[in-house]
Amino acid sequence: MILKNYQFHYYLNSTLDKPLILFLHGFMGNINEFDEAIKLLLKEFSYLTIDLPGHGKTQVLSGDEYYTMANTAHALINLLDELKIAKCFLVGYSMGGRLALYLILNFPERFYKVVLESASPGLSTATERLERIKLDTQIGRKLTRAFEKGDFTAFLSNWYNQPIFGDIKNHPEYDRMVESRLQNNPQELDKSLRLMGTGCQPSLWKKLQENKIPILLLAGEYDEKFISINTEMAKICEFAQIKIISNAAHNIHFENTLVFVENITSFLSAAS
């Protein structure tokens, strides 16, 4: 669908008798990120999946500022309007989780509940954000060089060596996940990283304290960094609860799909 400044690639499966979940993928993901989880949720939920700017087949039709979190969030609200979706559930993973949090804090009337998987409210201080911007710029350069050398696969291999991903490279479906990541354009990923990365996004810590939308925070038992971040989030937001998911690190929906779905179903189906 072409909206002002964007041509969104999305898939909508909607029936009137099933509540709808909007899924937002993580960095280097795409519209198929949650396919295995969605298969297990179909009996109870409708769904909307989207390629976020810089990913998959979605195109940004104007300047680079339209890759930012604020502009992306407004564009997603406009898309929901065009699709006549007044209110829905929201599930976001990592980068998509940061975007999901921004959405509920700025457009609370549009969402019932949100599940944030391995997500954060950004960085608290300007110093932290500046350091992260420098890091993301370096990663972006590596992405571009990998693209120029035709060696995107090697970049992905190094990416998944990060401690937060635990033992993901030994997962039986790891190669399939890498193939999906390779469908992205590294030059577009670079723009997403630089313009909607953790360093560039607004810090949401203070605003989180005012939130009244029910939040389920999911962190993998092997992802110590995000267990710490999510524990702090739950402390400052009375409407947030945290669940630590066994046999998973950062990418919970991929590593432990069944438990991920069980937690989503229980949380979204419960009376508020």
- Mapping DSSP onto H, E and C, the string for 164-226 reads HHCCHHHCCCHHHHHHHHCCCCHHHHHHHHHHHCCCCCCCCHHHHCCCCCCEEEEEECCCHHH
Question: pLDDT (tens digit, 9 = 90+) per residue, 169-224?
Answer: 999 999 999 999 999 999 999 999 999 999 999 999 999 999 999 999 999 999 99
The residues spanned by each domain of the chain are: 2-122+202-269
Mean pLDDT of 148-163: 91
Mean pLDDT of 80-105: 98
**Backbone torsion region of residue 54, taken as left when φ is above 0, otherwise alpha when ψ lies between -120 and 50, otherwise beta:** left
Structure tokens at 248: 């998973």
Residue 257: CB atoms within 10 A of its CB come to 18
Structure tokens at 167: 């033992």
pLDDT at 149: 84
Question: pLDDT (tens digit, 9 = 90+) per residue, 220-271?
Answer: 999 999 999 999 999 999 999 999 999 999 999 999 999 999 999 999 998 7
Q: Return the residue matching tokens 């992405």.
A: 143
pLDDT at 272: 64
CATH, domain 2-122+202-269, list 1.10.3720.10, 1.10.4030.10, 3.40.50.1820, 2.60.40.10? 3.40.50.1820
Ordered strands of the 10-13 beta sheet: 10-13, 46-50, 20-24, 88-93, 111-117, 215-220, 240-245
Q: For residue 96, what is the enclosing H or E element? A: helix 95-106
CA distance 261 to 91: 11
pTM: 0.96
Burial group, residue 65, by CB count within 10 angstroms (0-12, 13-18, 19+)? exposed
Q: What is the DSSP letter of 259?
A: H
